[in-house]
Amino acid sequence: MNLVRHFIDGQEHQAAAERTGKITNPASGEVTAEVAFATVAEVDLAVAAARKAFQQWRHSSLSKRSTVLFAFRELVARHADDLARTLTLEHGKVLSDARGEVQRGLEVVEFACGIPQLLKGDYSQGVSHLVDSYSIRQPLGVVAGITPFNFPAMVPMWMYPLAIACGNTFVLKPSEKNPSTTQLIAQLFNEAGLPPGVFNVVHGDKVAVDRLIEHPDVAAVSFVGSTPIAKYVFENGTRNSKRVQALAGAKNHMIVLPDADMELAADSVVNAAYGSAGERCMAISVLVTVGEAGDRLMPLIKERIADVKVGDGLEGSSDMGPLVTKEHLDKVTSYVAKGVDEGAELAVDGRAVTVDGRPNGFYLGPCLFDRVTPSMTIYQDEIFGPVLCTVRVATYEEAMDLLRHNQWANGVAIFTNDGGAARKFQTEVEVGMVGVNVPIPVPMAYHSFGGWKESLFGEMHVHGMEGVRFYTRAKAVTVRWPDPSQRGKNLGFPTQK
């Protein structure tokens, strides 16, 4: 059986794996490969390779870095279909969605290609007599990325293009559930001319993560995943004096006001709740209908759900693929049962779905709950599957109250034709990413991505200028060229003259 290996210092790590994990095709339930789980010594090897490479890479010219990134951009674009197919085979999402994920990741590579412009410093001439001053940003050193299963291509691309462009070297620990996309990426970096050791990959579990967040030679950690692990990585990483950004879980609400375009709102909520089988951190998982919007919207949503075709993600006819693992399918299904027990109205039950020729795949059809209340578990927990909870409220203020009391604050959307209401909403809502008649407001690479509250631990979002700031630190230089007029005794604190 094929073994997915670590990638250290420009090559696959050939040593026999002490521990491995299984990789499963969620569409068929078949085990297709194994992945090596790194030991502490293997993580140390990757960090050592990255540390050694940093000594050279930090001094590489900005044009050398952008030349490599441009070449990498071309290679990723040329291999977009291979990357998409690889990730569909291990994640389950439909191919068109996988291609979209690669495309959105590529946009960060394109942003990073502009590093000569992004890293320009500030210069002040004559801050004092014959004194000039300038500010520059320098790389941190070895940076680690730890990423989740749900975007095996895009989420790592939020991190390494900018980290590397800023002059750092990188060690990535992707999800053990779908690691093969990253192997292809590592090969493409080699082909693009990135020096060995600048981009390394270690696979594995808690052992690898724990070593990365305690390793004295790792300067910063970017993490994306569930809230408990994000909190753990943030607390332990910062305790070990690392700079940490940890993007976490979500429960994104979509508010529909009575004046909204109901056809558009129905299309949008179905696309955003069931796309990628709900396994998106920006998926809509709670629909909040205000006033009469609920009665008008429900039949339109049911009509559209009836049209969603569940199947193998490689089949062009499928709209929605399987869930990532059997364990995750069982967990999501148990939430559906819990919702029924707690008294929510299961308006559409996807549990009986079957897919021809795929009896062992991890499939669940779209599930729609109506009349959910905030005290129910299905409202409070992140389910991360194709389960949409509808909460009916009477007023805009009640909808805002729900958001105020929600622990997560990743994305949110409002649907309305009232510009004043939309403006009021975007100003007062305490959520990191806001959509107005846009259900999944994922910012472009030149803006930053990140939530508030329990959806982000740390100061800075990913990509955009926030990403440049995260992967660099500031230095201010004050310069005076010797001049006889500066001589003489003066023990006072330097002030401007």
Catalytically active residues, by annotation: 281
Binding status of residue 34 toward ligand NAD by CB under 6 A = no
Binding residue for ligand NAD, selected from 146, 172, 329, 364, defined by CB under 6 A: 146
DSSP sequence for 287-306? EEEETTHHHHHHHHHHHHHT
350: its two tokens: 């996807």
**Region of 159-167, 189-197, 202-210, 483-491 interacting with ligand NAD (CB under 6 A):** 202-210
245: its two tokens: 């950004």
User: Smallest distance, Å, CB 207 to ligand NAD?
Assistant: 9
Binding status of residue 178 toward ligand NAD by CB under 6 A = no
- Report helix, strand or coil for 337: helix
Alpha helical stretches, state H, 306-371 = 326-341
Q: What torsion, rounded to 10 degrees, do the Cα atoms 276, 279, 283, 288 define? A: 110
Q: For ligand NAD, give the closer residue by CB, 112 or 281.
A: 281
CA 304 remoteness from chain centre: 28
Binding status of residue 382 toward ligand NAD by CB under 6 A = yes
**Region of 21-29, 62-70, 164-172, 242-250 interacting with ligand NAD (CB under 6 A):** 242-250
- The answer to whether the beta carbons of residues 411 and 451 sit under 8 Å apart is yes
Binding status of residue 384 toward ligand NAD by CB under 6 A = yes
DSSP sequence for 193-219? TPPTTSEEE---SHHHHHHHHH-TTEE
Binding status of residue 192 toward ligand NAD by CB under 6 A = no
| Distance in angstroms (rounded) separating the CA atoms of residues 253 and 264 | 16
Binding residue for ligand NAD, selected from 90, 176, 312, 370, defined by CB under 6 A: 176
Binding status of residue 182 toward ligand NAD by CB under 6 A = no
228 CB-contact burial (10 Å; exposed 0-12 / middle 13-18 / buried 19+): exposed
Q: What residues form DSSP beta bridges with 31?
A: 24
Binding residue for ligand NAD, selected from 5, 173, 243, 463, defined by CB under 6 A: 173
Q: How many residues bind ligand NAD (CB under 6 A)?
A: 27
Instruction: Show the CA angle centred on residue 403, arms to residues 399 and 409, nearest 5°.
Output: 150
Binding status of residue 312 toward ligand NAD by CB under 6 A = no
**Region of 110-118, 203-211, 287-295, 358-366 interacting with ligand NAD (CB under 6 A):** 203-211
- The answer to whether the beta carbons of residues 254 and 264 sit under 8 Å apart is no
Binding status of residue 224 toward ligand NAD by CB under 6 A = yes
Q: For ligand NAD, give the closer residue by CB, 175 or 289.
A: 175
User: Smallest distance, Å, CB 451 to ligand NAD?
Assistant: 6
Q: Which letter does DSSP use for residue 436 in this model? A: E
Binding residue for ligand NAD, selected from 205, 214, 259, 418, defined by CB under 6 A: 205
Among positions 108-137, residues that touch ligand NAD (CB under 6 A) are: none
Which chain residues interact with ligand NAD by CB under 6 A? Answer: 146-151, 155, 173, 175-176, 205-206, 209, 224-226, 229, 247-250, 281, 382, 384, 410, 451, 455
